Structures are given as structure tokens and as C-alpha cells.
Amino acid sequence: MTNEMLTKVEGQEFVMERVFNAPKCLVFSAFSEAEHLKHWWGPRGWTLTVCNIDFRPGGVWHYCMKCIDEAQGDFFGFESWGKAVYEEIVDQEKIVYVDYFSDAEGNEAEGMPPSHVSLVFEELDGKTKVISRSRFDSEEAVKTVIEMGMEQGIRETWDRLAERLESLQ
């Protein structure tokens, strides 16, 4: 089950679960420290060119993903900016934030649905189960992001996280 990711839509929420073969302290660090995030955040063929993180309630993580894979055609060279505003952090247990599409200055992108994200980290016999719940304003907004390829992008991102965690142990 380590590489299997479960996903489902529950009304206005997109839910993902995956067990990572790493201790909870390491998995939590991978989600909260720029040094880790730079190595795995984003789908395959994308890299973080900007990763500014202020990891505290009220703090902001502002980042830019850039496509560096020529095989991805029109996406090659494309930049996608994002911003997370942290609401609640419980060390090694939970991270709650609002996730926005943004521009290089951190302004929220109009017409792109934000989501309220809750990440929960559970100890599982030396492994860590991560449960991500992304709540959107409407069922239509969930449908929009899924049609944009969010599910595949997150699968690839979490695959990269699993590889990063393996390399650190």
C-alpha cells in the first residue's frame, strides 16, 4: 500500500490518502521546510524556482513551479505560481492552510478556485499516513481543478515525495 494513493470526491472536498515509508517527523519536515519542498513539490518535469516559506500560523508559502521538461510541449518553460496561507500548525500532526493560485507578487489569481487544505499525519508502525482534504467553495470548483489535471499532478508530486523520503533514509 506504500505507493498506493487513494483519492475520492466528497461533495466539495477532494480527499487523498497515502502511506509513506518514513517516520512521521521526516514526512512532516518534508511538507514544512523549503530545503525539502524544493526537491519534490510539483509534478514530474517541474521544478520549484521560487520557494519562500514562513511556516507559522498567519505565515505564507509563496512558490513558483516551472516546467523544465521539453517533452511536455506547450507547458515547457511555463511558470505556475502558488501561495499557501497557514492557519493552523500542530507539530508533526496537522497543517491547515488556504491554497491559492497566484502571480509572482503573491496576488491571488482571479477566476481560479482557492481551496482550504487540511493535512493530517498519522504514525503507522514506523510509516506515516498522510490524509489531505481540500475543500472548495462548490462542487463545480472541485470538478474544475480535477479537469485541470490536479489529481494526476498530485499523484506525481507525492510519488516524488516518496522518492525524496527514500533517498533521505
* Strands 13-20 vs 127-135: parallel, antiparallel or unpaired: antiparallel
Q: What pTM, to 2 d.p., does this model score?
A: 0.92
In this prediction, the residues of the chain whose per-residue pLDDT falls under 70 are: 1-3
* Domain 5-168, classified CATH 3.30.200.20, yes or no: no
Identity of the amino acid at 74: D
Domain parsing of the chain, residue ranges = 5-168
Torsion of CA 137, 140, 141, 146, to 10 degrees: 140
pLDDT, tens only, 20-61: 999 999 999 999 999 999 999 999 999 999 999 999 999 999
User: Which residues, listed in sequence order, are joined to residue 66 by a DSSP beta bridge?
Assistant: 47, 79
Compute the residue count for the chain. Answer: 169
